[in-house]
Structure 1
């Protein structure tokens, strides 16, 4: 059904082209896995990958993660697996996970899902796992970053390539994946969580973005996604400079992470605060909990020292200034 009277449906063509470009650099014989939930985005990704991967000499399979958060989750996962197999993907595996409580329901589910995807990649010898985030997901991520005040890295959104993970559909609108499924005769599952307003991303999707589009006109979603791409290039450059700084100004001991105040004070704020954030992460802070406000407070121990005793950070990490150094560790005291 994707091709009628010799013409390929535009949405199918768009998803295939995106996948082809996203996989073009991989050597022949590489195994790639599609992370498929059974929803329209991931089914469209699975179909496009099943078509394009063999043409590139790649082996393509799929992993369906069953979070067990709904009564029929096992059935949903089984149907998704069946559709992936019907597309010609091999291997196809369902992985059941237990979702913890750390980081809230969204964060806990995401952690369990990504751990399962990495385990599956190891089991099947896959070098790449494909995620089905679309241009709309990218725009929502940018707005959520704005709301948190998290800085350029957060506003840069999701990377198209991040180690094992690739997101080939980041420039494809959600409407195109839905249309591609219809044209291909696929049966997407609609996750009821995608309509639950208790989740911030759902409120952004159904309440915030439509209001912005109405007030500012069409094209806001595309503009937000484009902004993310531009900011990512800047953030990558600053992160590289901060990593170089951390090599000399930050050191780990058996007890704590130690930052040289003199070296850090000589650097621009954008680079210095990135190095401090990395130091806090090395000391035990979780990236999802460490905010720009936390980092700014640690930075004030360098730039606005007025005898502050210490700064409390997530995961019981404490930053304290002693002489010419800042020490970060759990339980560190004055």
Structure 2
């Protein structure tokens, strides 16, 4: 977790975030000045960013939007005020409407980004300057502190070489809070094929099986927002073990992201929201699954079933039975 401190200063009207990372300044600089890299962390989990324009010149503008699992959008706009190549830059950050124009009812903020060498790594210093105490209070009340912390704590993975990061790791499970779990797995194959493997029935039957000895008996995928899906399994030779999951698709941005609900088939019980995101780099795909549970008790109950082990068995099978061929 790279964020070391977030402080607000009511007298000087600032909010300062400091983060230390195990990467050189030039790598940190590229993460903040290349939109494909920024999209991986500029936005807290569940609200990934998409930069629709990025003119990295003094006087130029960048436009971005963050999209929630339910499809809500929060848009922003940067105007680049100053650039110190390799060391830092300054922007005027404003909330934007659907046309990319600043929204007068929300405060605009001047932000400075500074990157400095620190021993074996580097330090990010991000200072946001507000025009009034009311503007500072408004942004803090909107969750800026926790949102910034969650977003910047994604930097570690962005800055690492994905192949090196994945060595010996397998399926990684992080408890983000009482109701959110993030699962990551590097898949040895291109994103388009990983996406297809999650949506085509004949491919799904080859890998989404959990532990050995189980078969996928029901495969009814959904390919459009609003459609329902249903999957079912049973242990070979034991039809009494049959179970399944069903849900609805909330958002699709193929082959980058899909959000859906999930509950036990035929049950009226609580459901989860599953936010699947795929990112390709150097021929491999980083799969991130953000799961939102209704409460901590449900989260702990499901994790205790050995879910992560079953997912690892399935992902390993995806690589060997689908992608290798």
TM-score above 0.5 = no
Q: Which has the higher strand share?
A: 2
Q: Which structure has the greater CA radius of gyration? A: 1
- Normalised to the residue count of structure 2, the TM-score between the two structures is 0.25
- Normalised to the residue count of structure 1, the TM-score between the two structures is 0.25
